[in-house]
Chain A
Amino acid sequence: MPQGTTEIPLKQQVLHENQRIAERLRNRYRDANLLCVNMISAPGSGKTSLLEKTLEILGDEASPLRVAVLTGDVQTDNDARRLARYGYPVKQITTGGCCHLDGSMIERHLADWDLSILDILFIENVGNLVCPASYDLGEHDKIVLLSVTEGEDKPLKYPSIFHKASLFLMTKVDLLGLVPFDALVAEQNAARIHDGIEVIRCSAVSYHGMEDWIRWLKKRLHAVRANNCRETVTH
């Protein structure tokens, strides 16, 4: 090192500010005893359609879960208007060019919501398989969607999100057989990145797999609440 040069250790995450906000959000979700899932996919994989059917099914149940949706897009409030028809609280986050949601956007849009009346908070991220993977929104689970009209090798091309997601929803499976998509190869590719990743094949058109998806959500909600309860007892 030349004379007069000093190396100063920083040892700091680049996204430390987002991380700080994500911790605050995590605390809010825990205090509200809710499950928060962050849904991530490329544009057009069917996030909004899947959420529409999810809200429809949940609304028809004997004792419906109380859910809400934050939906992110670069422009328009089309998705929020589609989802609001089901009678649950829905808020659009328009990022105005930003390719992902970050913690501060979530915090701003949740500022006037009473989370304690909710069971599940869905966050529909901006359609993008790369950038949203880097931003912690305090969620319990990242869920990655890949539709059968895309390529089976996407888990290998976009490993980060498949590595971090706890569930892989293979969407539009009603089209299997009509498109040259090998579902097994896609699942094997996902398993190469994330051994043991849970997979549900589903369709918002034929309702195939929707029961499994709803069951998964309820299982996670129970697990999160059991964990909150244990923590409360321990402290």
Chain B
Amino acid sequence: MHELALAESIAQAVRRTMEELPGRTPVQVRLRLGVLAAVDLAALQFGFAVAARESGWDGLVLEAVCVPAELLCVECGARTETRVAHGDCPVCGSSRTMLHGSDELEMESLEVVDGNTEHASRNDGDSPEATGAA
């Protein structure tokens, strides 16, 4: 269950990026997840939702694209794509295969919208210095 630690790392990266973007609100983080990243996406999204809420971004969601790995056949040399961690060569049927480029866990991009919508709605009514959307 290292997903909570990963979620916090992602939230930190978002916080650092948002420091440079006053007046904007983050709405979506996109991840690239390799076949062997050993991450449970649902658990990561759950942990991230908590971290995002703590930073005042209630609407911030985490999406992931599964990145296929390259399956190299040791017997016939065929290079094919796979989305599972082990498999026989689809060309010659050999089980002697190797996976390449399969453990990535990368933050690809962050989608932001104009305006401090989340902060505005949180502060609305209970804070005299609330300024509303920029």
Residues of A within 8 A of B (CB): 1-2, 4-17, 98-100, 102, 130-131, 133-135, 156, 159-161, 163-164, 188, 191-195
Contacts and interface: CB of A to CB of B under 8 A. Distances in A.
Given A8-B111, A13-B105, A160-B85, 19 more contacts: A6-B113, A7-B110, A8-B17, A11-B108, A12-B106, A14-B6, A14-B10, A14-B31, A14-B106, A15-B9, A17-B12, A99-B1, A130-B2, A134-B37, A159-B36, A163-B85, A163-B99, A193-B99, A195-B74
B38 interface: yes
B113 A134 contact: no
Contact of A5 (B5, B27, B39, B108): B27
Interface in B101-130: 102-115
B38 A12 contact: no
Contacts of A2: 113
A13 to B, nearest CB: 6
Contacts of A163: 36, 85, 99, 102-103
B26 to A, nearest CB: 9
Interface of B: 1-2, 5-6, 9-10, 12-13, 17, 21, 24, 27, 29, 31, 36-39, 74, 85-86, 95-99, 102-115
A4 B113 contact: yes
Interface SS, B side: mixed
A37 to B, nearest CB: 20
Contacts of B102: 163
Nearest to B29: A10
B2 A11 contact: no
Contacts of B96: 191, 195
